[in-house]
Amino acid sequence: MIKVGIVGGTGYTGVELLRLLAGHPEVEIEAITSRSEAGLAVDELYPNLRGHYPGLAFSEPDPVRLAACDAVFFATPHGVAHALAGELLERGTRVIDLSADFRLKDAEEWAQWYGQPHGAPGLLEAAVYGLPEVNRDAIRQARLIAVPGCYPTAVQLGLLPLLEQRLIDLDHVIADCKSGVTGAGRGAKVSSLLAEASESMKAYGASGHRHLPEIRQGLAQAAGQAVGLTFVPHLTPMIRGIHATLYARLTSEPGDLQALFEQRFADEPAVDVMPFGSHPETRSVKGTDICRLAVHRPGGGDTVVVLAVIDNLVKGASGQAIQNLNLMFGFDEMAGLQAPALMP
């Protein structure tokens, strides 16, 4: 049993950590912090947790108590982990940050997209980008994990085999992504109201989105060179789920695309390659840490289409964070992440 803390537990990724960890055999919650809700029982805010964490309440963030944990998750807005991670790491506590604070390797690029200076550039070198399908060995040794964003997870997993094999035109890759509304968090925004977001579909950030540099960084690493990506996210009238539809132009005859994908992910417990020409549904991964993929080559032409679905709150956030935790502490990689999706 290890002890973990959660900083910023009132948002959707915080409660999702609690939901998933309720079934984890090796973890107990030592503290969950929230400045705004300190003192409130977690199951008063999230009644689905009634009976699962008796006595657990949100508390003011207390560095001493957090440092007594084996690992601390940050489920916070950007900037918060910058301020606190260093102290925890010095005291020997491992940090798993679900925010964007340590995802970009370039502190200046971070500052540009987030409109403020990077608060802990000295930690960037030690931070490991927590995509197990790329960095599993480094994750096992890591003390500071930057959990990938939701869109970046889906897009990278869908493109990795094509990029690593250099099969496509690297200047013109398109990621058309559709996300449920929890991607916008639990903040009270008019645009996220049921009355505004339901029964409608719209793009947003088509001319620039904060996940763009993160995706580009990941794609470039896989391809060994810069990748020209057009990324258009869309707000979809559902609670959870991301559907990434990825388009690339083949530059050489690729051989058996299906075999390529199956082999690339053969040993990956969180990636499921469906039969060629399938159409994965986001609901098939709802509540789970699985990324489900399918490959298409319409009309046998030179365009390859990859369909990738994840649950933005699980494989796109809290589930992947736990997958990282499991690797860091030598647990079964999918401990706490085994339940099938809720369907229907």
Calpha distance 321→148 (Å, rounded): 9
| Residues in the chain, overall count | 344
Binding residues for a copy of itself restricted to 39-78, rule: CB under 8 A: 46-52
Q: How far is the CB of 303 from a copy of itself (least distance, A)?
A: 5
Q: Are strands 229-235 and 173-179 parallel, antiparallel or unpaired?
A: parallel
Count residues contacting a copy of itself (CB under 8 A)?
86
Taking the least distance from each CB to a copy of itself, the nearer of 106 and 171 is 171
Q: How far is the CB of 133 from a copy of itself (least distance, A)?
A: 16
Among the listed ranges 129-137, 156-164, 315-323, 334-342, the one in contact with a copy of itself (CB under 8 A) is 334-342
Q: How far is the CB of 16 from a copy of itself (least distance, A)?
A: 9
Calpha distance 245→308 (Å, rounded): 7
Q: How far is the CB of 6 from a copy of itself (least distance, A)?
A: 15
Write phi, then psi, for 301 (nearest 5 degrees): -80, -160
Taking the least distance from each CB to a copy of itself, the nearer of 125 and 253 is 253
Q: How far is the CB of 173 from a copy of itself (least distance, A)?
A: 10
Binding residues for a copy of itself restricted to 244-273, rule: CB under 8 A: 245, 247, 249, 272
Taking the least distance from each CB to a copy of itself, the nearer of 93 and 182 is 182
Calpha distance 162→185 (Å, rounded): 32
Q: How far is the CB of 68 from a copy of itself (least distance, A)?
A: 26
Write phi, then psi, for 231 (nearest 5 degrees): -125, 115
Taking the least distance from each CB to a copy of itself, the nearer of 1 and 188 is 188
Among the listed ranges 61-69, 136-144, 160-168, 229-237, the one in contact with a copy of itself (CB under 8 A) is 229-237
Please pick, among 69, 150, 177, 291, the residue that the annotation labels catalytic.
150
Write phi, then psi, for 214 (nearest 5 degrees): -65, -45
Binding residues for a copy of itself restricted to 271-330, rule: CB under 8 A: 272, 274, 277, 279-288, 290, 292, 296-299, 301, 303, 305, 307, 309
Q: In 14-159, where do the E strands start and end?
A: 27-33, 58-59, 71-74, 94-97, 128-129, 144-146
Calpha distance 29→18 (Å, rounded): 8
What is the longest distance spanned by two Cα atoms in the chain? Answer: 61
Calpha distance 158→145 (Å, rounded): 22
Q: Are strands 242-249 and 303-310 parallel, antiparallel or unpaired?
A: antiparallel
Binding residues for a copy of itself restricted to 7-46, rule: CB under 8 A: 12, 15, 18-19, 22-23, 46
Taking the least distance from each CB to a copy of itself, the nearer of 83 and 201 is 201
Neighbours of 74 (CB within 10 A): 30
CA 159, 161, 162, 165 dihedral sign is positive
Binding residues for a copy of itself restricted to 167-196, rule: CB under 8 A: 172, 174, 176, 178, 180-182, 186, 188-190, 192-196
Centroid of chain to Cα 219: 16
* DSSP-assigned beta bridge partners for residue 6: 32, 73
Q: Is 291 a catalytic residue?
A: no
Binding residues for a copy of itself restricted to 130-169, rule: CB under 8 A: none
Q: How far is the CB of 180 from a copy of itself (least distance, A)?
A: 8
Calpha distance 122→237 (Å, rounded): 40
CA 99, 101, 103, 109 dihedral sign is positive
Taking the least distance from each CB to a copy of itself, the nearer of 194 and 266 is 194
243 lies in the site for a copy of itself, by CB under 8 A: yes
Taking the least distance from each CB to a copy of itself, the nearer of 38 and 203 is 203
User: Residue 41, by phi and psi: left (phi above 0), alpha (psi -120 to 50) or beta?
Assistant: beta
Binding residues for a copy of itself restricted to 198-227, rule: CB under 8 A: 198-204, 206-208
Residues annotated as catalytic are 150
